[in-house]
């Protein structure tokens, strides 16, 4: 039996197919076209150079009237036209290249090709022929199961079967250029987005640390604002002085983020936390193999801060040998890493801070005199909280808002007795202690008010709360009773009758209780809330 396979075909179909070659619908040259596109993609990793050639093939060989390649930025959710032909300026600007402008978004969302056909029709809407008036189709560019963009085109077809072939052809092209599209997005769109994000974060940090955002309006803190404004524009070394918890690091950040080098790094080193044997390595870095455990080269804080600012917190805790090395950096702006011999030069601004009296340390010989004068170029003393007057209340309100939001509570105010306690306390821990006190009070609060009995025992002074130290039931009841009386008198503007009615007491009963706690109704007719409370 003859093994020859006989192929048969319809002569009419062949004639029809061949005749369409004259209208540009012949696909007998599809393989050369695909080969050309594959060569383009292999030889031009730059998508921007490849796309004009690919679009040229679509326009000249496939006879497309309009076409475009879009890319999708998954972080912003935006779709933009990377290259196109046959579009007017309005379509390029809007990103739409057909009346059905949502086709591209549908393809990006679904990851599947979309085809829209428009056929000739008579006045009654009946199809006149199989001829497609126009066809609009869009295929996704997919790599590693992620949609990177689309290829879309529009064409008039004499032969409807060629529409399916063109969709398949562009799908192949999309697959070919997908790796280049991903590389382009990573190197361009993602890079630009990351740069924008970095600038946004820098701007947010600058806004956060600008002097006007350091809470407080008292005269002492206003003086600090003025000094920050003057020194920030320079590169002078700054020495920030003040008790523990006053916010020295906040001042250092305010100086950096308002300086000409605000775009540079801000590196903080807590000198008090540096072990003696590691302090030099942490500040100045070390070379590989310079000591046991030095498995690789390490850049210290000064090298990391190159082009920006280094903040040396608690600089008074450094040992004398490290002080000598720090002095050289201040003088020459260069140093050697531990185990190294090559000088490392840095352009860095130095801000130091301490809660110790460096002048006394110089007299005792525990701090180098020459280093002290090098650091003390522009001193700023941050006042303790007890010297900032009404800033205590301003800060307390700020912390209440922050911690109530963080804990999901809706605390609206601090009661008058609690305010009296906050104002009367001496705050040895300064702003940091106040912050911790308010956080604790927000946790303990059971309504929308911070009450006196929500404050820690260290603030429960007999003069303010009518109680002694301790948390006994009797003390708690007395504190609550005192606060309710004060709140009622405050609400009634010092009218005993109205206050008694609010509390459900007679004027006589309320008078007895006011006398017990040393409360005078006259105090509540004053406009100054700090005068509300017991008589001296």
Residues 242, 368, single domain; the answer is yes
Q: What is the mean pLDDT of residues 154-175?
A: 85
Q: Are 530 and 423 in contact (CB under 8 A)?
A: yes
Output DSSP code: residue 69: E
* DSSP state string for 397-428: HHHHHHHHHHTT----EE-HHHHHHHHH---T
CB hemisphere CA count around 435 (13 angstroms): 9
Please check whether residue 145 lies inside any domain of the structure.
yes
Last residue of a domain, one of 383, 417, 439: 383
Is it the case that residue 177 has pLDDT exceeding 90? Answer: no
Distance CA 395, CA 445 (A): 18
Please check whether residue 203 lies inside any domain of the structure.
no
Please check whether residue 1 lies inside any domain of the structure.
no
Is it the case that residue 419 has pLDDT exceeding 70? Answer: yes
Q: By three-state DSSP, how is residue 37 classified?
A: helix
Q: pLDDT tens across 194-240, in order? A: 766 776 776 666 555 556 568 888 889 989 998 998 999 999 999 99
pLDDT at 131: 57
Distance CA 238, CA 443 (A): 38
Residues 115, 43, single domain; the answer is yes
* DSSP state string for 457-477: GGG--HHHHS--SS--HHHHH
Q: How many CB atoms lie within 10 A of CB 474?
A: 10
Q: What is the CATH number of the domain that holds 405?
A: 1.10.8.60
Last residue of a domain, one of 339, 358, 383: 383
Is it the case that residue 339 has pLDDT exceeding 80? Answer: yes
Q: Are 486 and 533 in contact (CB under 8 A)?
A: yes
Please check whether residue 336 lies inside any domain of the structure.
yes
Last residue of a domain, one of 383, 410, 431: 383
Task: Please compute Rg for the chain using Cα positions.
Answer: 38
Please check whether residue 197 lies inside any domain of the structure.
no
Between 486 and 107, residue with greater pLDDT: 107
- Its domain, for residue 68, covers 11-191
pLDDT at 1: 42
Q: By three-state DSSP, how is residue 528 classified?
A: coil
Residues 126, 235, single domain; the answer is no
Q: pLDDT tens across 426-482, in order? A: 899 999 999 999 999 999 988 888 988 888 887 865 544 344 434 566 666 777 787
Q: Domains in the chain: how many in total?
A: 3
pLDDT at 475: 64
Least confident of 92-106, 216-230, 376-390, 489-503: 92-106
Please check whether residue 2 lies inside any domain of the structure.
no
Residues 150, 227, single domain; the answer is no
Residues 415, 511, single domain; the answer is yes
Q: CA quadruple 475, 477, 480, 485: dihedral positive or negative?
A: negative
State the pLDDT confidence band at 382, using cuts at 50, 70 and 90: very high
Residues 403, 362, single domain; the answer is no
Q: What is the DSSP pairing of strand 334-335 with strand 344-345?
A: antiparallel
Q: What is the mean pLDDT of residues 29-48?
A: 64
């Amino acid at each position: 039996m003859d093994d020859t396979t006989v192929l048969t075909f319809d002569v009419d179909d062949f004639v029809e197919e061949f005749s369409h070659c004259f209208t540009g619908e012949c696909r007998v040259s599809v393989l050369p076209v695909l080969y050309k596109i594959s060569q383009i993609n292999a030889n031009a990793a730059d998508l921007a150079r490849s796309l004009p050639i690919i679009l040229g093939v679509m326009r000249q060989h496939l006879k497309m009237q309009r076409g475009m390649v879009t890319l999708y930025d998954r972080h912003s959710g935006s779709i933009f036209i990377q290259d196109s032909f046959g579009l007017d300026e309005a379509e390029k600007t809007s990103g739409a290249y057909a009346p059905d402008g949502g086709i591209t978004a549908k393809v990006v969302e679904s990851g599947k090709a979309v085809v829209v056909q428009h056929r000739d029709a008579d006045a009654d809407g009946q199809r006149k022929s199989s001829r497609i008036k126009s066809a609009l189709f869009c295929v996704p560019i997919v790599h590693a199961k992620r949609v990177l963009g689309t290829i879309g085109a529009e064409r008039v077809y004499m032969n409807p079967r060629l529409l399916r072939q063109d969709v398949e052809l562009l799908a192949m092209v999309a697959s070919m250029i997908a790796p280049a599209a991903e590389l382009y997005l990573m190197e361009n769109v993602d890079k630009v987005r990351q740069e924008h994000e970095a600038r946004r974060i820098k701007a947010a940090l600058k806004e956060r640390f600008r002097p006007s955002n350091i809470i407080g309006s008292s005269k002492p803190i206003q003086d600090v604002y003025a000094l920050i404004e003057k020194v920030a524009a320079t590169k002078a070394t700054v020495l920030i002085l003040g008790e523990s918890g006053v916010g020295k690091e906040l001042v250092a950040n305010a100086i950096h983020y308002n300086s000409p080098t605000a775009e540079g790094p801000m590196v903080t080193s807590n000198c008090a936390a540096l072990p003696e044997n590691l302090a030099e390595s942490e500040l100045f870095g070390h070379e590989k193999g310079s000591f046991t455990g030095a498995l690789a080269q390490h850049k210290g804080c000064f090298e990391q801060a190159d082009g920006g600012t280094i903040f040396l917190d608690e600089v008074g805790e450094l040992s004398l040998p490290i002080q000598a090395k720090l002095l050289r950096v201040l003088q020459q702006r260069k140093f050697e890493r531990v185990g190294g011999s090559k000088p490392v030069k840095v352009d860095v601004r130095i801000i130091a801070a301490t809660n110790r009296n460096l002048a006394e340390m110089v007299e005792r010989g525990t701090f180098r005199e020459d280093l002290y004068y090098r650091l003390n170029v522009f001193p700023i003393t941050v006042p303790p909280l007890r010297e900032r007057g009404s800033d205590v209340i301003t800060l307390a309100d700020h912390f209440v808002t922050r911690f109530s939001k963080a804990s999901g509570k809706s605390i609206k105010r601090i009661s008058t007795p609690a305010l009296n306690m906050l104002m009367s306390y001496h705050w040895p821990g300064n702003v940091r202690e106040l912050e911790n006190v308010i956080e604790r009070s927000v946790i303990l609060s059971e309504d929308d008010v911070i009450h006196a009995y929500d404050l820690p025992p260290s603030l429960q002074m007999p003069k303010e709360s009518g109680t002694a130290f301790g948390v006994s039931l009797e003390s708690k009841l007395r504190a609550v009773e005192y606060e309710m009386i004060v709140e009622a008198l405050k609400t009634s503007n010092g009218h005993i009758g109205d206050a008694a009615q609010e509390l459900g007491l007679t004027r006589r009963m309320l008078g007895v209780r006011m006398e017990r706690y040393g409360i005078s109704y006259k105090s509540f007719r004053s406009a100054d809330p700090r005068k509300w409370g017991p008589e001296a």
